[in-house]
Structure formats: structure tokens, C-alpha cells
Structure 1
């Protein structure tokens, strides 16, 4: 006998009262199920965008997002400027905050870095 008591309403079982020993064995299973449900919910809402800690740390330290991503990807200014078909001085000025890149240039840089454009724009 499990010692479970049922509480009925209108002739139908509505609640179950279980001994504490059973509850202690079941509670961790319920927590695991809740964790799994939250994981699946987060996975379903995932837009695929990830900002690595190294990039975030660099940006929080004041580094321009383009430079942070470039360094994270292991690219030199020469390599990125070649891949984006812009001059190295122009890239340097953007990274240094002296110039804003045009939409076309930012798009080219984002493609070269394989990063969404909005992640390259400084707030």
C-alpha cells in the first residue's frame, strides 16, 4: 500500500495526497522535467545569434565591435579590409571611432566576419 489519499470532487479524483517519502523521491524528477521544458522553450526561441564572452568583454572594455569581432576571428586589419573590399585606413578609422561606415561597408564587413550587421554597430 502506498498510502496515497485521493480527494474527489463530483465523484472524480481531483487531488492526490502522498506520503512525504514518496514526495521526496518524486520532487527531483519533477524539477528535472521542468528544467527540460525550459531548455526546449529556450531552444525553440533561439535566433541563432551568439556573442562570445571574449567579444562581449572587449566591447565592455570600450573596443569597437568590429575590432572585437575581427580579433575574435583571428583576422588582421589587412585581411579584413581585403575581405570586405575596403581600404585598411578606412577600416582603421571605423574601428577607431573616427568614421562611421556606410550601410554598404558595414554589410561587407559583416559578411567577411560572418556576423549580423546589427552586432557591429556601436550604441
Structure 2
């Protein structure tokens, strides 16, 4: 798109432009929205209001690994350490990570706090 858009037709209420100019304007708007969103995330990262996770964490989540196990490994915690921090038994943690028990809301809330992650990251997919 040129810096100058040539109207094909215009009235007091409307302007008609070419499809190419319209498509270019839509693409520029999408780019501007992406830049705005990226800037907002960058500001939250700097302010420590959010955290970025390595691609390996995201790959494991997408592969279906249990989020508690993924984030426990990411934080470098043993199962015993996490269970202690969360105030739950090691056996119960194992059942949650192995999906033999879903984990109560109370337990998942404790685990999210112990892992320092939002509870919604532990929610079932």
C-alpha cells in the first residue's frame, strides 16, 4: 500500500477504496493490535505481573502431561517438596499427577499457590 490512498469514489458520508488498499489497511490494523498486545505483555513481564514459560513447558502441556507435574518439574521441585509446600500428602499428589484422582478444588488451589502459578493453568483441559 502506498502512503497515499486514492479514493475511487466519495460522498459526504462515504469513501470507496480499492480492495488492495482495504486489505493493506486491515493488515496494518492487525499489526498495530499485535504490537499493542505485545507491548502490554512486555510491560507485565517487566512489572512481574505475569510470567513467560519455556517452549518445553508448553510442549509438555500440549502433549497432555498433567499440568501439576509439568510445573513441578519446571520449578525444580520433588514431589515430596511440592506436597509439603501445598500441605497435601505425597500419595495424594501422586494420584493427582497420575490422573487417578482429579484433585479437589481446595487441593488444586493449594498446589497453584505452592507452584506460584494461576489456578486456571491447572484446570482440566
- Shared fold (TM-score, shorter chain, > 0.5): yes
TM-score (norm 1): 0.63
CA distance 1:37–1:101, change in 2 (3 Å): closer
The answer to whether 1:44 aligns with 2:34 is no
CA contact (8 A) 1:54 1:72 kept: no
CA contact (8 A) 1:55 1:65 kept: no
The answer to whether 1:83 aligns with 2:64 is no
CA distance 1:111–1:44, change in 2 (3 Å): same
1:63 aligns with 65
User: In the TM superposition, what is the alpha-carbon distance from 1:36 to its structure 2 partner?
Assistant: 8.1
1:92 aligns with 94
Equivalent residue of 1:100, what SS?
coil
**Which segments of 5 or more consecutive residues in structure 2 lack a partner in the other structure?**
1-27
**Which segments of 5 or more consecutive residues in structure 1 lack a partner in the other structure?**
1-30
CA distance 1:38–1:118, change in 2 (3 Å): closer
- Name the one with the larger strand percent: 1
TM-score (norm 2): 0.62
Q: Greater Rg, structure 1 or structure 2?
A: 1
CA contact (8 A) 1:86 1:105 kept: yes
2:116 aligns with 114
CA distance 1:64–1:38, change in 2 (3 Å): closer
CA contact (8 A) 1:110 1:116 kept: yes
